[in-house]
Amino acid sequence: MIGIDRIIENALLEDIHTGDITTQAVVPEKRSARAQLIAKESMVLAGIDVAARVFVLVNPEVVFSARFPEGALLSAGDVIADITGDAASLLQAERVALNLLQRMCGIATLTARYKQAVAGTGAKVVDTRKTTPGLRQLEKYAVRIGGGNNHRSGLYDAVLIKENHITAAGGLSVAVERARAFVPHTMKIEVETETLDQVAEALSAGADIIMLDNMDLEMMRRAVTLIAGRSLTEASGGVSLETIAGIAATGVDIISVGALTHSARAMDISMLLGE
Amino acid sequence: MIGIDRIIENALLEDIHTGDITTQAVVPEKRSARAQLIAKESMVLAGIDVAARVFVLVNPEVVFSARFPEGALLSAGDVIADITGDAASLLQAERVALNLLQRMCGIATLTARYKQAVAGTGAKVVDTRKTTPGLRQLEKYAVRIGGGNNHRSGLYDAVLIKENHITAAGGLSVAVERARAFVPHTMKIEVETETLDQVAEALSAGADIIMLDNMDLEMMRRAVTLIAGRSLTEASGGVSLETIAGIAATGVDIISVGALTHSARAMDISMLLGE
Amino acid sequence: MIGIDRIIENALLEDIHTGDITTQAVVPEKRSARAQLIAKESMVLAGIDVAARVFVLVNPEVVFSARFPEGALLSAGDVIADITGDAASLLQAERVALNLLQRMCGIATLTARYKQAVAGTGAKVVDTRKTTPGLRQLEKYAVRIGGGNNHRSGLYDAVLIKENHITAAGGLSVAVERARAFVPHTMKIEVETETLDQVAEALSAGADIIMLDNMDLEMMRRAVTLIAGRSLTEASGGVSLETIAGIAATGVDIISVGALTHSARAMDISMLLGE
Amino acid sequence: MIGIDRIIENALLEDIHTGDITTQAVVPEKRSARAQLIAKESMVLAGIDVAARVFVLVNPEVVFSARFPEGALLSAGDVIADITGDAASLLQAERVALNLLQRMCGIATLTARYKQAVAGTGAKVVDTRKTTPGLRQLEKYAVRIGGGNNHRSGLYDAVLIKENHITAAGGLSVAVERARAFVPHTMKIEVETETLDQVAEALSAGADIIMLDNMDLEMMRRAVTLIAGRSLTEASGGVSLETIAGIAATGVDIISVGALTHSARAMDISMLLGE
Amino acid sequence: MIGIDRIIENALLEDIHTGDITTQAVVPEKRSARAQLIAKESMVLAGIDVAARVFVLVNPEVVFSARFPEGALLSAGDVIADITGDAASLLQAERVALNLLQRMCGIATLTARYKQAVAGTGAKVVDTRKTTPGLRQLEKYAVRIGGGNNHRSGLYDAVLIKENHITAAGGLSVAVERARAFVPHTMKIEVETETLDQVAEALSAGADIIMLDNMDLEMMRRAVTLIAGRSLTEASGGVSLETIAGIAATGVDIISVGALTHSARAMDISMLLGE
Amino acid sequence: MIGIDRIIENALLEDIHTGDITTQAVVPEKRSARAQLIAKESMVLAGIDVAARVFVLVNPEVVFSARFPEGALLSAGDVIADITGDAASLLQAERVALNLLQRMCGIATLTARYKQAVAGTGAKVVDTRKTTPGLRQLEKYAVRIGGGNNHRSGLYDAVLIKENHITAAGGLSVAVERARAFVPHTMKIEVETETLDQVAEALSAGADIIMLDNMDLEMMRRAVTLIAGRSLTEASGGVSLETIAGIAATGVDIISVGALTHSARAMDISMLLGE
């Protein structure tokens, strides 16, 4: 949790900085309070442990009790969690906790919709590196909670040979060869292709994963047929809730969706404070 | 720029971490390249200096030339910037630069749409604290570029007395009084109200700004009439592109919109790399 | 407390660094001890929670019991706090705790003297940005404990238009106008003036606060009369314990005093260790 | 300079944080300016390189030209340095640069006065660990510029066996013995004594330095005579500008003065900005 | 280089901290000098860019010219690099640069010896996670320079199912299945086995890599035969320069060697300084 | 422990980063386990508190019970510690704890061998600055546990005038003089010498410690005779387990050995996990 703690501490410093002056001025010290987190719309719950951690880092004596587990499908009005402790602490943690939780639930909920759209096919829905700078770990976690899978975490933990790499290397096959010689044996080699000729070359070069980038459905189907299970196939580009079912029907193994993280809407959650 | 540099450095470490293994394996060293950032849809440009800084922090010898100033209205296909330098450096900076730029343009573009919806009224459109943890400074900057104004930066630089504070203090007037005695004389005192009685009490307590929270249009109009310019008025709650014009028509001075930052969609921008 | 903890941790690392070698060499492990913090002169107590936190961060098992609340007026010889725990931990925390506490008490005590000098007038005594780099938050807190008020925390949380800004903007009125268009509506606009003409211009430009900078008493009186309550007035420059009563008598609302933080003498406090 | 840079960067973040809003609102971009640092009273100059570094860290293109070297004796009205560059950058660096420079000059100037008071004797004037948390390195540097010498930097780089250590160890001699066995051979062993009996014991235990703590002049003289050059002698406690000459006359080698750093007044320096 | 810069800056702070007092006391300012790095024994060069970076971070004006490229085979007496610049800067950078360079050369040299011992076989020599805390990235780089390959960077970038995981999961097959469902499709699944039965189970579970842990040569040969190229094979445990050739002869694909990083001896390199 | 905690946290982040994916995928949540640390060869135990701290920082609820104190002489097969707690936490802490512990035990064990080699002489065995960047504090601690003593911690806490300093200063005597005037009175002055003439000059300059650098045994004996106890003597250069007894026999006070830290082999320790 050390990495997560640093994210939360920085978020708290960003918001509270030199002090919550309204609370300091107005709220008597040592007043205890009770609060609830309430879902204002239906959603997939993701990030409840992170939200809890925000309160605890503000004040270790706050007690945070979640009523639902991660991944639960919530309805509008559901009480997500009960929180008790020092009133000022609850007020100071509120916004950071909600900002993180609303975003994570938004991503999980959107992922679940994409996942549902491909139900009945074997296609995995995966995220991309199009995440919020500083929050990638949390966002990729939310994708998993929503039923999706993760693509690589960054440039360091997987090989993805794109057009630009192929050009710079002087050819697809040589690029695959260099990658295989260089990277840990634990990593597969993925190659981006845009034409069937490139698919064929990637296949003969021994690519473990072939990305079918911005292909139309017809070409994608032919690529899948050509590959015939000899490598994993990943569809990429132009994926939306409208198009994903058609893409899945081509038989690709994996569909990567940037929108899961770069364009998810925050879910509506609020904190009600009583005494 | 020290604060911004730290955000960018952390984002780069998040993405590159121990190294861009694909580029290390595949791209020959000391190969120079040229790249362009391309707008793939119309948008308000925001964050071009931040994007430039990403490339420079990866490699100080990269040259980044923007073709448009901040706030420019871009059309699909516009070349935003030309970048030249070491090919590996361009590839390593690409994703972080785009993740920041796409988000900032998304916020500026959405803000401009809200701003346009209230054109002809005197209403200011302002943001909230519902920002991405760690990126608040950049997001609030993007709101300004889009024609909006900023609300407070955090809990530390303004007073906003909410329902919970009033309850804890034992009354609205006493809360205002305590705040005035406590906080710097440079800050105004804002009070959240939900009824006309509260508006009247806030007014007589000398609140500098009265937030009209989740009021319907009729009540809002009556509140504005009641206040009669003796304090600033801020509408909050339930604001969308559909409702904002009606809200502005009530004569409020300021309308705060959480969606500007918590639900803006990333704009579509890509980097094309040549040689 | 995250921000404060970082200040304390850095202070401890500065002092202890790779280890308290004298204690490691000389003091047997697991020896418990009792200590007292003693005021060696009369003073206003400020920073007792910070001092306590130093001991706890060195060793969470140390028990620190304050005998006086913040703001208490102490006499020479008063025992401020009782501390019990591991002897080595007490010795390692001692200097950092005292360095912070002595400085904070010094500021609070000096502030109280200034405050006393204006007793009977309505003038507020406020601090400036002339604080110790890295300790501003603690020093401004000590000013409040001493009965003073805070001016802005930094360049980011308030507008203060000075001579240089006016020159750069091309005039006082245009500077005020630009500021009002730019900054959050939660902030007042303060303008520095040196002549009555400038006072008049600031007033007509709608400045919320007018700083009367380095004016003699006669000019200050005339400025206060001219402003007639239409904006707040702040006297600045040449303020000392000798001059402040005369300044307050001019009727200004606020008097800012750099000396509160840049020239306060550390109060004499020592730690006595028994067994 | 990495350590110093971190101090300055944190100070800048403390003051500027999310931005100098007055300057952003009011000062046109890309306006260049010239500024001067002016001494408003006589002082010993210390910290000019640190002040210069503040400007450079805000904006590497600022040119800072010092007119005096470190240690120079300045008169009121002296121009200390000329600075040219982007106006906004100068305004943003001003306060942090001055806060550091004024403090360092204050310490150097006070040290010089103490040093002068012992002129003609062989006594060294040294500082203590009673420094500002976070700024010890800069403050001890200023002491050296003022003609003083440094005592240890912290608990980690020298042995100072105090009363509490002696008690915990069960005797002065055993404490010295343990220290000698434990610490690097590069360090001398200093022991605090309050009576002539302790002095005699420290001497026979082979202490390299004997601190004469809070002794009256008569006892101090007898201690110096007793020691007779067989170890260094350090006077401590109750040292002021009034008492130090008498202390030096006892023949002690070293006099440590907490006031050098804990109670130095900031020197009056201001920045004038032209165009 | 941001990650590497942080490692170097921390190493410099560790060594220089508040200042190189010998140099400050003894060496005149602004004295320039020339230095050479000399190999005192034969070795594989690794880390020359890192060594250069240390000098540049101490002082950007230092000029560092390497005479050999990474991976060069050096003989005793070879001049590795010429360095010119401020004498004090060279002295301050020396130890940190050498500490890093000597260690990296030691690892590369030891790796080359292991690599040589398996020459003529197809076996790859790879490192482990038994690296120096804080320096893993540099050490794994040195392994590559020495002709080895890298295993995973940490717990986050590859799956390695060990005995303990199998026990906790309730069986090898279920563990493989869970891992495949959970982790990015870019990662292969590696399973540790100690018996031929486990090898068979791992094979039928579809493990991409089968680790043969602490097997004797006979069992290893039979495991390789059993697997027959259907998954990669990795030998682990009990690998030394004496045993590795025999292990490679069994036909395993990969041999992992903890000693490459946890027990490499520092190469003897010194810096000679002239004027 | 703040400094140590930062080392451990960085090591954990290096290894775990975004998560232990194998454990997350495979190990059921909330499964508790018991583990033991086992010595696989004979060694001197050093770093057991550091290892314990790794587990506690991963999960404060883990219970770590050491069976031996620091400095204990362990035999192969000895159980060093029992650990109980959440299985996933034990697996995540394992490698970092072992990497630190194995290295520290390696240093302590090697130091003990050197110390044993000089048994019966009065010579102290001390370390150097040839330590692992980032781990110096831990490595120097391990040297002490192994029966050695520490030389200086860095460039900041002791004076060591080397050949290069003497050249730059224009002579040995002037260098000693400058150092004595500059550095705290708590530090001794050490001078490196390579000839008997230099020894004589260092002696007459009043050096507190004379380093006999790379002298043969005959010259070293004559140097010791010449110095005759008037300063401490330190042998340096060419020290190995084979040569150290002869060096000690010359009568030097101190022998510094770089190999203690730069070339110690990691001790073989493993963690066994049960349920």
Return d(Cα E28, Cα B86) in angstroms, integer.
40
- In F, residues 17-56, which contact A (CB 8 Å cutoff)? 17-19
Nearest residue in B to C150, CA atom: B184
From residue B259, give the alpha-carbon distance in Å to each of A265, B102, B110, B244, B255: 9, 16, 9, 12, 12
Write the Ramachandran bin of C49: left for phi over 0, alpha for psi from -120 to 50, otherwise beta.
Answer: alpha
Mutate to test the interface with D, among C21, C34, C138, C166 (most CBs of D within 10 A): C21
Of the candidates B162, B180, B188, B221, the residue annotated as catalytic is B162
Which residues in chain B have Cβ-Cβ distances shorter than 8 Å to E136? 18
D3–E16 CB contact, under 8 Å? yes
Of C62-71, E162-171, F247-256, which gets the smallest average pLDDT?
A: E162-171
Q: Is D62 on the interface with C (CB under 8 A)?
A: no
Return d(Cα E39, Cα E42) in angstroms, integer.
7
B2–D9 CB contact, under 8 Å? yes
Nearest residue in D to E14, CA atom: D3
**Chain mean pLDDT for chain B:** 96
Which residues in chain D have Cβ-Cβ distances shorter than 8 Å to B140? 18
Residue E273: what pLDDT?
A: 86
Does residue F34 have an active-site annotation?
Answer: no
Residue ranges per structural domain of chain B: 4-114+265-273, 118-262
Return all residues near A3 (Cβ < 8 A) that are at least 6 apart. Answer: A137, F13, F16, F17, F18
Question: Looking at the predicted structure, is the pLDDT value of residue A257 above 70?
Answer: yes
Residue D35: what pLDDT?
A: 96
Question: Looking at the predicted structure, is the pLDDT value of residue A209 above 90?
Answer: yes
Are B246 and B259 spatial neighbours (Cβ–Cβ below 8 Å)? no
Q: What are the pLDDT digits (tens) for E228-263?
A: 999 999 999 989 999 999 999 999 999 999 999 998
Are A10 and B6 spatial neighbours (Cβ–Cβ below 8 Å)? no
Which residues in chain A have Cβ-Cβ distances shorter than 8 Å to E186? 151-152, 157-160, 187-188, 190, 209
Packing angle, helices B87-117 and B2-16, rounded to 10: 120
Find where tokens 């899948």 sit. A224
Q: What are the pLDDT digits (tens) for B171-200?
A: 999 999 999 999 999 999 999 999 999 999
From residue D131, give the alpha-carbon distance in Å to each of C121, C123, D156: 37, 33, 16
Residue B1: what pLDDT?
A: 63
Q: What are the pLDDT digits (tens) for B95-143?
A: 999 999 999 999 999 999 999 999 999 999 999 999 999 999 999 999 9
Average pLDDT over residues E74-92: 96
Identity of the residue numbered B238: G
Identity of the residue numbered B199: V
Are B228 and B199 spatial neighbours (Cβ–Cβ below 8 Å)? no
- For D209, which of F157, F186, F232 is closest by C-beta distance? F186
Are B155 and A15 spatial neighbours (Cβ–Cβ below 8 Å)? yes
Tell me, what's the ipTM? 0.94
F232–D185 CB contact, under 8 Å? yes
Return d(Cα B15, Cα A152) in angstroms, integer.
10
Q: What are the pLDDT digits (tens) for D110-163?
A: 999 999 999 999 999 999 999 999 999 999 999 999 999 999 999 999 999 999
- Written as one string, the DSSP assignment of A145-199 is HTT-B---SSTTS-EEE-HHHHHHHTSHHHHHHHHHHHS-TTB-EEEEESSHHHH
Q: Give exposure, E194-224, as e/b (b: 16+ Cβ within 10 Å).
A: eeeebbbbbbebebbbbbbbebeeebbbebb
Which residues in chain F have Cβ-Cβ distances shorter than 8 Å to E23? 155, 165
Return d(Cα A72, Cα B60) in angstroms, integer.
47
Residue D206: what pLDDT?
A: 97
Q: Is B100 on the interface with A (CB under 8 A)?
A: yes
Does residue D40 have an active-site annotation?
Answer: no
Residue B30: what pLDDT?
A: 84
β-partners of residue E81 are: E37, E66
Of the candidates B20, B127, B192, B234, the residue annotated as catalytic is B192
**Residues of C marked as catalytic:** 95, 130, 162, 192, 213
- In E, residues 144-173, which contact B (CB 8 Å cutoff)? 153
Q: Is C94 helix (H, G, I), strand (E, B) or coil?
A: helix
Q: Would you place residue A136 in the very low, low, confident or very high pLDDT band (cuts 50, 70, 90)?
A: very high
Packing angle, helices D136-145 and D2-16, rounded to 10: 110
Residue E39: what pLDDT?
A: 98
Q: What are the pLDDT digits (tens) for D186-227?
A: 999 999 999 999 999 999 999 999 999 999 999 999 999 999
pLDDT above 70 covers a percentage of chain B that reads 99
Identity of the residue numbered C201: E
Are D254 and D235 spatial neighbours (Cβ–Cβ below 8 Å)? yes
Does residue D9 have an active-site annotation?
Answer: no
Mutate to test the interface with B, among E1, E2, E49 (most CBs of B within 10 A): E2
Closest CA to A175 of A188, A185, A163, A161: A161
Which residues in chain B have Cβ-Cβ distances shorter than 8 Å to C124? 185
Q: What are the pLDDT digits (tens) for F122-162?
A: 999 999 999 999 999 999 999 999 999 999 999 999 999 99
| pLDDT per residue as tens, chain C (275 positions) | 678 999 999 999 999 999 999 999 999 888 899 999 999 999 999 999 999 999 999 999 999 999 999 999 999 999 999 999 999 999 999 999 999 999 999 999 999 999 999 999 999 999 999 999 999 999 999 999 999 999 999 999 999 999 989 988 999 999 999 999 999 999 999 999 999 999 999 999 999 999 999 999 999 999 999 999 999 999 999 899 999 999 999 999 999 999 999 989 999 999 998 86
Packing angle, helices C136-145 and C87-117, rounded to 10: 60
Superfamily of domain C118-262, CATH level 4? Aldolase class I (3.20.20.70)
Return d(Cα D163, Cα D169) in angstroms, integer.
10
Residue D1: what pLDDT?
A: 62
* Per-residue tokens: E92: 């301050």
A2–F13 CB contact, under 8 Å? yes
- Please provide residue C194's backbone torsions phi and psi, each rounded to the nearest 5 degrees: -125, -10
Residue C45: what pLDDT?
A: 98
Which residues in chain D have Cβ-Cβ distances shorter than 8 Å to F211? none
Q: Would you place residue B40 in the very low, low, confident or very high pLDDT band (cuts 50, 70, 90)?
A: very high
- Nearest Cα of chain D lies from the Cα of F146 at a distance, in angstroms, of 13
- Please provide residue B119's backbone torsions phi and psi, each rounded to the nearest 5 degrees: -55, 140
Question: Looking at the predicted structure, is the pLDDT value of residue D86 above 70?
Answer: yes
β-partners of residue F24 are: none
Residue A274: what pLDDT?
A: 80
CATH 3.90.1170.20 fits A4-114+265-273, yes or no: yes
Q: Is F253 on the interface with D (CB under 8 A)?
A: yes
- Nearest Cα of chain A lies from the Cα of E269 at a distance, in angstroms, of 29
Cα A39 from chain centre: 20
Mutate to test the interface with D, among C9, C15, C17, C26 (most CBs of D within 10 A): C26
A103–B263 CB contact, under 8 Å? no
From residue E162, give the alpha-carbon distance in Å to each of D31, E170, E198, F98: 64, 12, 12, 17
Of the candidates D34, D40, D95, D144, the residue annotated as catalytic is D95
Does residue F268 have an active-site annotation?
Answer: no
Average pLDDT over residues F225-246: 97
From residue F208, give the alpha-carbon distance in Å to each of A11, C145, D94, F187: 53, 51, 46, 9
Q: Is A241 on the interface with C (CB under 8 A)?
A: no
- For B186, which of C152, C182, C253 is closest by C-beta distance? C152
Return all residues near D245 (Cβ < 8 A) that are at least 6 apart. Answer: D117, D118, D121
Q: Is A109 helix (H, G, I), strand (E, B) or coil?
A: helix
Closest CA to F83 of F105, F100, F61: F61
- Nearest Cα of chain A lies from the Cα of F155 at a distance, in angstroms, of 32
Return d(Cα F170, Cα F175) in angstroms, integer.
8
**Chain mean pLDDT for chain D:** 96
C-alpha radius of gyration, chain A, whole number: 23
Return d(Cα B49, Cα B65) in angstroms, integer.
10
Q: Is C184 on the interface with B (CB under 8 A)?
A: yes
- Please provide residue B207's backbone torsions phi and psi, each rounded to the nearest 5 degrees: -60, 135
- For D12, which of B2, B137, B153 is closest by C-beta distance? B2
Mutate to test the interface with B, among D18, D56, D86 (most CBs of B within 10 A): D18
Q: What are the pLDDT digits (tens) for E16-57?
A: 999 999 999 999 888 899 999 999 999 999 999 999 999 999
pLDDT above 70 covers a percentage of chain A that reads 99
Residue F164: what pLDDT?
A: 86
